[in-house]
Structures are given as C-alpha cells and as structure tokens.
A = this chain, B = another copy of it.
Amino acid sequence: MSTTKSSRDSAGIRSADRTLAILDAVGSAPDGLTAAELSHALALSPATTYRLLATLQEHDYLVRSRESRYILGRAVDELGRAVRAQILATPDARRVLSGMRDAARAPAYLTVFRGDDIAVAHVADSAQHPRIGQLHVGFAESAHITAFGKIMLAEKDAASLTRYLDRHGARALTAHSITNEAALREQLDEVRALQIATEVEEYMPKLACIAAPVRGRSGRTIGAVSVSTTAEDFASRAHDLERIVRRGAWHVASASPGV
C-alpha cells in the first residue's frame, strides 16, 4: 500500500502490464510510435522503454519501420489468425448455417460466448445474400442492438449483464437503437420469455435481424443463430424466418460435440 500513485493501476505483474500497454498503444497508433513517444505516453524511463521494446522485438510482436517507428509485427498477425481460428465454428455448424442461408434466402450467423464476451463464429453469406455491414468472425460489439446480442445478453444474470454494459457501453448506431438500460432489461425479459430476439433498424437502417438461442446439454444458452434481411422483407415473412432460426439453432446444438 505504499505506492498508490498511478490512477488505475492494475494489480498485475508490472512488467507484464507494461508490455501489454505497449502493445495496446502501438496497436492504436495507425503509424506506430517512436520509442520516445511510448516512453512519454506510458511514463517510463527511456532505458526501460528500450528494454521492453527489445523484448517485444525478439518475439516478433513489434518491428521497426523504415522511419524507425515501432509497429506491430508478425507474431501479432499470427495471434490474430489464431484467435479467429479458435472462434471459428466447426464444419458441421457451418454446414447448418449454409442450409439456413439457403432456406431463408438471407445471410445466416452463428455467435458464441467467449468468456464474458460475444464472438461471431461464422457467417454464411453469398453474393446473392450479402452480409450486413462489416460483420466478420471475431469479437462482436453492439450486442444491445443486434438480435444475436440480445439472445446472448438475455443469458447473463443481472450482475454479469451490468458488468458487460459497463465495459461496453450502449452506443446508438441508428435512430432506433436502444440505449436506455431499463428498456433494454425489459426487452431481455421478453427475449427470455419468447426464446427469440429481433432487431429492426437498430443496428443499420433498412435492415432487420432475428435470432434464436442455441442450447447446450445443460439447457443453458451457449450461442445464437440468426439471419438478417431488409426491414421490409422481414415484415412480410417474420414467422417463416423465426421457424428457420429456431430449427437452425436446434441443428447447431445437435452438431455441437459435448457441450
């Protein structure tokens, strides 16, 4: 308790903290950073900065650009591929999603939990049925205004939902985006009751989405299956799409080993 100087000092191992802080800093600088900039930004002495940077370079996490700025290196790219590979759905699940896309004539999505976070495990789209926005395999944001996100949030208990919202906020992306936390909690009750979630123009104008929970052996929600289409199209065949995602969710659960 003697040195409580920094504002939000993580209780972790200091050198590890600093190492990760450097990675984060370099990652959020489009053109990388110089040693001096890092040293200043993290309040480290130049010597220490260089030592940490040297270590990061040895592991190929950082590299020096021609203009002697530090930029992200090959190991980061490899880790990025690794995390996506870890998240990616199994071939069986992907097959189910393709079937859903064909049945719904709309792109289909599978999302799963990853720790407390939510990740997109597969997108089944095609030239005829383009995906919404820039939704790729990887961690997902904006859970509060997506159909799959509502399914996933509905699974969380009060405490962990609060934690999630505190960490991720609830930004509005369209005029219909829900940002009021109380209203969201009510919606989630409805989701829990119906075992289905929808979203109309909350995430992107003119688009709508519907999602159903994937249940594990224990009965707990382990993921969500969803399809997206235009708001107009959705209005005319919501019931069909609902059946498609419910059926898809069941098939994905059957295709999931063990869980």
Among the listed stretches A81-89, A150-158, A188-196, A241-249, which one makes contact with chain B, having 4 or more residues with CB under 8 Å of it? A81-89
What are 22 A-B contacts defined by CB distance under 8 Å? A10-B55, A11-B58, A12-B58, A13-B51, A14-B15, A16-B18, A16-B19, A16-B52, A17-B55, A17-B59, A19-B19, A27-B79, A27-B83, A31-B86, A64-B115, A72-B86, A73-B83, A73-B117, A76-B80, A77-B84, A77-B138, A80-B138
Least CB separation from A80: chain B residue: B80
Chain A residues packing against B (C-beta within 8 Å)? 10-21, 23-24, 27-28, 30-32, 51-52, 54-56, 58-59, 61, 63-66, 71-86, 113-117, 119, 127, 138-139, 222, 259
A65–B10 CB distance below 8 A: no
Known: A11-B58, A16-B15, A17-B55. A24 touches B64 (CB 8 A): no
Residues A74 and B117 in contact in the complex (CB < 8 Å), given A15-B13, A55-B17: yes
Please give, as numbers and ranges, the residues of chain B lying within 8 Å of A11 by CB-CB distance.
Answer: 54, 58
Q: How many copies of this kind of chain does the complex include?
A: 2
A75–B24 touching, CB < 8 Å: yes
- Residues on B with beta carbons closer than 8 Å to the beta carbon of A139: 74, 77-78
Do A30 and B77 touch across chains, with their CB atoms under 8 A apart? Answer: no
Cβ contact within 8 Å between B83 and A77: yes
User: Roughly how many angstroms separate A31 CA and B71 CA in the complex, as a whole number?
Assistant: 29
B59 and A20 contact, CB distance less than 8 A: yes
Nearest chain-B residue to A48 (Cβ)? B13
Please measure, in the bound complex, the distance between the C-alpha atom of A90 and the C-alpha atom of B211, giving whole angstroms: 37
The answer to whether B74 and A77 touch across the interface, beta carbons within 8 angstroms, is: no
Q: Inside 8 A of A66's CB, which chain B residues have their CB?
A: 113, 222, 259
Instruction: Knowing that A12-B56, A63-B116 touch, tell me 17 more A-B residue pairs with CB under 8 angstroms.
Output: A12-B52, A13-B51, A13-B52, A15-B16, A15-B19, A16-B19, A16-B56, A17-B59, A19-B19, A20-B56, A24-B75, A27-B82, A72-B82, A76-B79, A76-B82, A77-B119, A77-B139
Per the bound structure, the CA–CA distance linking A71 and B114 in Å amounts to: 8
